[in-house]
Structure 1
């Protein structure tokens, strides 16, 4: 496959129209169709069965193909990026009410972007694209919008994608070749919230929930892999969730408890507290909103 053809494919897999501004975010329903936990578990378990790298590892290799796969979006003071779970729709997902609550807390200041990745059962292929896309979004936005800060939300496979994107390549399960988040962009990440994280590590201090601290997830990340952002992370896991609490107990209910157990609101409250701490950075001395640093971006053809 020629390099020019690969670059063309990268451009077509960018984020056309994925930005969801405040009005659309408020219109999203809080009622989501729960994922199928058994299918999710099976697809995540398949990640370790075949040691061969996926085709996406070369297709999205950052050294071979350094051009970003995304164009910048608007320079809202805050950009909330959601990464949905396996089989979830881009709207009406578990993370939609979390993002909506954050938007309502800062009217007019929050852009919401659903990460454009497959979120299907081919986790190695789709997850690699997800990690590359997340890294490029953060780096491109940090370059285009000097005042913008980021909030990252991930559920199930989406938590794997976000966590691997923030970790160093050697600590990743997917996306080892797709580059890294620039230090400047990483510094702008205000908050990271996970639900039902397959890379859950029970011993981490940022964990929240009824989990057993001696039990890890299906694909635990190396302990300390997220040390660079650990004070900004909340990783929610409930007892019996066989995605973030790997076990032989195949009760499917706990992995979808996050839709109704109040942890969506708790995660949003954590993020809003983090926004409060950073809010002054987005205001001029006269109290007016800092204008965007770049024009409205053009859509990519």
Structure 2
């Protein structure tokens, strides 16, 4: 499947290049974790988004924010909440594992408080590692990956309606989402993306906001 990178200009391009170049080069960018959120209300769908390394934005400027917007536009007649996974999203060791723990803790708490709520998990770049770990697919050994710390309990698995993954680093080491979640997973790797596919086009890794509507349409068929 081929995807065409979006054209980005000016300061947006500079900022995005800085984010991913740092990841690719193993640089030292450190972004503080978002403050912990209060318990969310009981909506139909809770969109849990793990941003990429150093990525700004409420849910993630490149992927999470546009995908959440597309989900609300595409899936009619449902109420939504969103949760930004609280983790460093940096190249420091243990970052992805911290995200893994926070994601599972959030989904577990929400599932207990809201028995009818379903979940859509969104992960971009290192955030895809966070989602991978949370469903039991280890990202250890992948770029900005880490060992599994927790997995979503089996009793909650049927309530995870869709997984939307973009630039997933485990693909570069030959891993994919398999098993329970496979049919509910959209895992996009743009041609030339060096993070998930071993390519050399850094702009490909910045292109996934252009796939927001595709991801929303996929999720709409699963909720």
Cα deviation 1:55-90 (Å, max 9, x = unaligned): xxxxxxxxxxxxxx9864211110001111111113
The answer to whether 1:245 aligns with 2:174 is no
Q: TM-score, normalised by structure 1?
A: 0.59
Equivalent residues, number: 195
Instruction: Quote the Cα distance in structure 2 between the aligned partners of 1:41 and 1:228.
Output: 31
The answer to whether 1:86 aligns with 2:38 is no
The alignment partner of 1:191 has SS state of strand
In structure 1, the residue matched to 2:208 is 258
The alignment partner of 1:146 has SS state of coil
Give runs of ≥4 in structure 1 deviating > 4 Å.
Answer: none
Cα deviation 1:188-244 (Å, max 9, x = unaligned): 1000011111012xxxxxxxxxxxxxxxx1x443x5x53110000000111110101
Once the two structures are superposed, the pairs formed by residues 118-267 of structure 1 within 5 Å of their partners are 118-122=88-92, 124-167=93-136, 171-173=138-140, 174-176=146-148, 178-200=149-171, 217=172, 219-221=173-175, 226-247=178-199, 249=200, 251-259=201-209, 262-267=210-215
Partners of 1:82 and 1:152 within 8 A in 2 = yes
Of structures 1 and 2, the one with the larger relative CO (CA 8 A, separation 6+) is 2
Partners of 2:163 and 2:184 within 8 A in 1 = yes
The runs of 5 or more residues in structure 1 that have no matched partner are 1-30, 47-68, 201-216, 276-301
2:82 pairs, out of 107, 112, 128, with 112
The alignment partner of 2:16 has SS state of coil
RMSD over equivalenced CA pairs, Å: 2.5
Instruction: Quote the Cα distance in structure 2 between the aligned partners of 1:137 and 1:175.
Output: 19
The alignment partner of 2:156 has SS state of helix
Instruction: Quote the Cα distance in structure 2 between the aligned partners of 1:120 and 1:172.
Output: 15
Instruction: Quote the Cα distance in structure 2 between the aligned partners of 1:240 and 1:155.
Output: 16
In structure 1, the residue matched to 2:26 is 43
Q: TM-score, normalised by structure 2?
A: 0.78
The runs of 5 or more residues in structure 2 that have no matched partner are 1-11, 29-35, 141-145
The answer to whether 1:74 aligns with 2:44 is no
Larger Rg: 1
Q: In the TM superposition, what is the alpha-carbon distance from 1:102 to its structure 2 partner?
A: 1.1
The alignment partner of 2:207 has SS state of helix
Partners of 2:45 and 2:80 within 8 A in 1 = yes
The alignment partner of 2:26 has SS state of helix
Q: In the TM superposition, what is the alpha-carbon distance from 1:172 to its structure 2 partner?
A: 4.2
The answer to whether 1:102 aligns with 2:85 is no
